[in-house]
Each structure stands twice: as structure tokens, then as C-alpha cells.
Amino acid sequence: MKSSFQKKLFLKSSIIIISMVLIFLIFFSNYVYREISKTSRNNLNELAAKTGNELTLLFDDMDKISLYVSTNPDIIRAFHDTRMREVSNQELSMSIYNIITSITVPNSSSRFRINLFNDKRNFISTGIPYSKSMVNDKLSSEDYLQWYQSLPIIHSNSNITPLSSDTWNSKPTQFISLYREIFDSIVIDLPTGIVEIQCPSKFIEQIMVLDVPNVDSYLYAADGTAIYGTSDKIPALAGLPFDRKGSPPDLTPSYTIADNHVYSAVRLENGWFLLLAQHQNQVFQIVFRLCVSVLLISVCILLICLAVLFKIMKNTTEPLRQLTASVNMITLNSPYLNVDTSQYSNELAGLTMAFDEMMKRLKNSMEENVKAKAYEARANMIALQSQVNPHFICNILTIIKAMSREQDTEKIGQICDYLARMLRYISAYDQEGVPMREEINDAETYLNLMKIRYEGLFDYDLYINSKLDIDAFRVPKLFLQPLLENSFQHGFKKVVPPWHLKIACTIKNDYYWSITVQDNGVGINDEEAEKIQKKLSEFMDNSSNTIASLKIGGMGLINTIARLKMRYPDSLTFHIRSLAEGGTLIEIGGKLDDEYFTC
């Protein structure tokens, strides 16, 4: 079914609007993604700079304390004395404890542990508690001097080391340690001890565990060794394109994208690297949620726009719809448009008036054409019927001739009686149809003639459904006899008797009639059946010219089907086929007309 003009117009307009909305959403999503990605990178860089600054302040505090301790004159003098003579830890502690305590409190360095020790096995500490037993064990161990000399000391400078287990306590807490040498007051550049500032890992964790969701932070040593990370899987710094050799550090973050992550890195003053990582899915999720919100709003607006558009188009095309409905209601008896054009535009009103004028002229032309077709159809029917008479008479004369050779005068008399009866039946041309009972009687007359002709070699069965009123059912005259003749001319021609015919007249579903003729003859192949259908189609396409070119007896089965087709142009069915047990079956049917039900 073709769509209406209104539907087509609405559909095309909707497609255009929806396409524009989709294009807008695509460009909008791309723009939002770029902006959010840019903002996310900037925020990540700012967060990296802030976190790096906090770590730098922490390390600066450790370095300042170590510098203050290592340059304090009293501490320098006390460690100088340890080289000149044997000094116990208690004596060393009494001489510098107040100094160390004065350093710890004002600088809020109680979060650190300050250790002072030398190669003479002297040790003093303040701040975070330590284990005396572990200290004593360490100082008295044979490998103490070896351990002391292996400490990562940078001459005349501080050095900070990654997280490691606590040397001075058995607790599992890890520390970051900063080392600085204490130099002798007399001999230049002669180290007399070491200052160790220990910072527990929890202070690193407090700085690096961020309040921002889905952002992980990692801390690396200058050589790229991982020190700390907020996630279990720490990315290798060597695989990321960052410059770790720049100098001096300025805490300016740089970012890169790798492994579906956005990374921001900061190089600290001590050469360490801080790395912040955010998965790109976080950006996608933000964009997705925003796009879904925009999409829902767009869909709502789109539905409203489409509803308004549909209403406008409906009002615009309503005159065309009314005009179409009026055209569909036009009949030959009422060929005028029943449309109020007062509210139409000038164009539609003019179109309606022009259509009315055209329908008036068309009605006159159709009435004349219908009359001509009616006359032609009646003439065709009579011409077809006239083809039957000579054809049948020729067959009967042939039978009489054969009987005369046998000198069977009694049978010739019967044949003449039957022939006279049949000639009286077919002699009236003014009738377009006859009751089915008369047609059946004529067919039985013909079959009785054949029984006389073949003397016991032929018989037939006739069945009439009791539901079929054969007095009210009217059919074209002489349509049944050619079906019977077809069996004698073709079906029985190459088959040894006895021959048998079955004729059945039935009604189906109370509205359709059916007549079947079945013989036990030679049958019909598919090629011949197709040829009959083709001849019938050619005849119906150009019936007048075909009738004009026919000779006597030139139609037979085609004649019959053609006359039935003229009476039942829309509902006639015709089938011819061979039976599996042998013989041919011809079935003709159609819909009972109103005349049948009003009789």
C-alpha cells in the first residue's frame, strides 16, 4: 500500500530534522569531549603541581633539620670529641640532647626521627621512639662499620633514600631517610658523624592519597625506581615519554597519553618524580553522561517539534485528503466532488472545479463506451454460441452416416429424435443464459446419443449436489457439451473401451459453484495444458479479432471457457490436469451471482 502524501511529507521532514539533530549531537559530543579532556588534563596538572609542592615542602623540612643539626657548633664539637677520646652514648646524649630537643619542638619535627651516629658506635636519637635493644644490637654487631660505610652519603650534601624498613625499630613501619654528614671543626672536610632524618611512610601516603576519585599517584626515585604508589600496579616510568634529566626542576608538570591513561609528571628538587594517572574512561564517562542528558533533552524537544510539524502538515494536507476521499467516492451515477471549497486556497479550489468539469465529460464518454462494450459483448456471445452449432451438427451427421452403413434404422430414428431435441434447444439466440437444468438435460441427450453410437462401450455417471438449485442457477447455453466432446475427441481416442465419464455439479461454501468432468482416457500432459491456457489468454486479450478469424468448429474447449469468462469475469476458475490413475479432469467454477440468491 502506497503511503499518503501527508505521510511521505512528514517522513521526509522528520528524517531531515532527525539528521540535523544527530549531526549536532556528533559535533557537540566531539566538542564536549575535547573541552572536558583539556579541562581534565589541566586539573590533573594542577593537582600534580600541588602534590609535588607538598612533597617538596616535606623533603625541605627534613633537609633543613639535617642542615641545622649538622652545622650546630655544639653538635660539631661533641662529635669532634668522639674522635679525640672515647665518649659513651650517655655522655654524648647529655651534651647535645637539649640542643636536639630545641630543634624538634619549634620546627614541628616530632613527626620525624632524628638520628645522630658515627663510626665509633655512638648513637643518639629523638622524635619517633626507637628500640634500644635493636640499637644496641646494631651498634655492637661486627658488620656495623661495613654498614656504616655503605650508607648512601653524598659528600657535602644531603641525600634522600626510598622507603625502606626501620633500622632502629622492629615495627613494620617503613621510612624515607635523609642523610647528611657532620664535619669536624678542626680538620676541613673530615666527617665525624652522620645525621639521619627519618620520615614514616604515612606522611607520604597522606600527601599522595588524593581526594579526587579515579586518580592514582606514584613516586619514583631519580633512576626511575618505583618508591610508592596508591594502586597495586605501578607503571614503569621508563615506558613513559618524560624528560627525567631536566635541570633545574621547576615543578612544572607535563602530561602524556599512554595505555588508555592520561599521565601528569613533576620532577621534584631532589630529582625524584611524581606521577599522577587518570584513566581515559573517566573522561568518557563524563562525556557519556552529559551526552545522554543532552540526548534525552533533544529527544523531548524533537518529539515536541515532530508533533507540531505533524499538526501543521495535517492541517496543510487536509484539503488534499478530503479531495482524495471525494474522488474515491465518485461513481457513474454521482460523478461530482462533494467538497466544501470555501476554506481552500485558490489553487485547490481551482483544482476542484477543474476536476468536476473533467468528471462531467468523463461520465458522458464512459456511458457511451459502456453501451458500445455491452453491444460488443452480446455480439461476441452470440458469435461464440453460433460456433457450437455447426461443429456439433457435423459430429452428429458423422454418427448417422456410420449407423446407416450398419443399416440400423431404429437407432437412426432415436438419433434423429435426440438431434431434433438438441437443435430446438440451441436454436434460440436471444437468450444470454439458461437454467442449469436445461443445460444438464441437453448434456444427457448428447451422452445418450454417444451411448447409442458406441453400443455399450461407453457409460456415464451424473451427480448433482442437492444444495445447488439448478433451476435458479443460470449458465451460458451449450457450455457443458463441449467439455463432454473433449473427452471423445481427445481422451478416448487412443484408449481401448470401455469408456466412462463422471460429471459432478456441486456448491462450495454456499457461494461458489463447481462442475467437474472426469474421463478414463489417455490424459493430458503439462505442455498441452499450458498450450490451452495460453490460447485462452490470447482469446480473452483480443476476443473480437479472434472470433472474426474462427472457422466452423475452430473453438471447442476454448469456446466454452471464453463464454463462461464473459459471464463470470472476476470469479471464474478453470483447471485441467491428468489423473494419477489415468484420464483427464476438467474443473470449472465461479461465484454465484446475485440473481441466483434472489430467485
C-alpha cell at 453: 453410437
Taken in order 486, 491, 492, 494, is the CA torsion positive or negative? positive
Q: Is the dihedral of CA 288, 290, 293, 299 positive or negative?
A: negative
Q: Write down the pTM of the prediction.
A: 0.49
Tens-digit pLDDT profile for residues 379-397: 555 554 555 456 667 767 7
Q: What is the pLDDT of residues 170-202, one digit of tens each?
A: 888 899 999 999 998 888 888 989 999 999 999
Q: CA–CA distance from 403 to each of 412, 454, 484 (Å)? A: 7, 10, 21
Q: Would you state the pLDDT for residue 168?
A: 92
Question: Has residue 16 got a pLDDT over 80?
Answer: yes
pLDDT, the chain, mean: 79
Residue whose C-alpha cell reads 549536532 in the numeric block = 24
Q: What's the pLDDT score for residue 111?
A: 82
Pick from 265-269, 316-320, 558-562: least confident: 316-320
User: Would you state the pLDDT for residue 80?
Assistant: 85
Nearest to 274 by CA among 51, 539, 108: 51
CA–CA gap between residue 235 and residue 500 (Å, rounded): 100
Q: Would you say residue 239 has pLDDT above 80?
A: no
Q: How far apart are CA 15 and CA 96, in angstroms?
A: 88
> Is residue 101 predicted with pLDDT exceeding 80?
no
Distance, in Å, from the CA atom of 564 to the CA atom of 140, rounded to the nearest integer, reads 131
pLDDT band at 461 (very low <50, low <70, confident <90, very high): very high
Query: How many helices (H) and strands (E) are present in the chain, helices listed first?
Result: 15, 17
Beta strands 215-220; 273-279: pairing state: antiparallel
Give 292 or 517, the one with higher predicted confidence.
Answer: 517
Report whether pLDDT(293) > 50: yes
Q: Quote the CA–CA distance of 44 and 50 in Å, as a whole number.
A: 10
Arithmetic mean of pLDDT, 398-402: 75
Mean pLDDT along residues 305-330 = 73
Residue ranges and CATH numbers for the domains of the chain are 1-301 (3.30.450.20), 368-598 (3.30.565.10)
3-state DSSP of 296-336: HHHHHHHHHHHHHHHHHHHHHHHHHHHHHHHHHCCCCCCCC
The segment with the largest mean pLDDT, out of 172-186, 241-255, 312-326, 345-359, is 172-186
Rounded distance, CA 479 to CA 316, Å? Answer: 57
Q: Residue 123 pLDDT > 60, yes or no?
A: yes
Mean pLDDT, residues 47-59 taken together: 90
Highest-scoring range by mean pLDDT, 2-6, 147-151, 324-328: 147-151
pLDDT number for residue 503: 95
Q: In this model, does residue 572 exceed pLDDT 80?
A: yes
The predicted pLDDT at position 178 comes to: 94
Write the DSSP string, 10-67: HHHHHHHHHHHHHHHHHHHHHHHHHHHHHHHHHHHHHHHHHHHHHHHHHHHHHHHHHH
Span 414-442, average pLDDT: 79
Share of the chain above pLDDT 70, in %: 77
Asked whether the predicted pLDDT for residue 205 surpasses 50, the reply is: yes
In this prediction, residues 25-49 reach a mean pLDDT of: 82
pLDDT at 116: 92
pLDDT at 505: 93
The predicted model gives 464-486 an average pLDDT of 86
225: number of Cβ within 10 Å: 10
Q: Specify the pLDDT at position 337.
A: 63
Indicate the range of 47-56, 158-167, 231-240, 288-297 predicted with least confidence: 231-240
Q: Give mean pLDDT, residues 437-448.
A: 90
Tell me how far apart the alpha carbons of residues 599 and 597 are, in angstroms, rounded to a whole number.
6
Q: Is the pLDDT of residue 274 over 80?
A: yes
**What are phi and psi for residue 68, nearest 5 degrees?**
-65, -45
pLDDT for res 147: 93
Mean pLDDT value of segment 109-132:
87
pLDDT for the residue 234: 78
According to the model, what pLDDT value does residue 110 have? 67
Highest mean pLDDT among 9-13, 38-42, 145-149, 571-575: 145-149
Q: Is the pLDDT of residue 65 over 80?
A: yes
**Residue 378 has what pLDDT?**
57
Strands 499-508 and 458-464: parallel
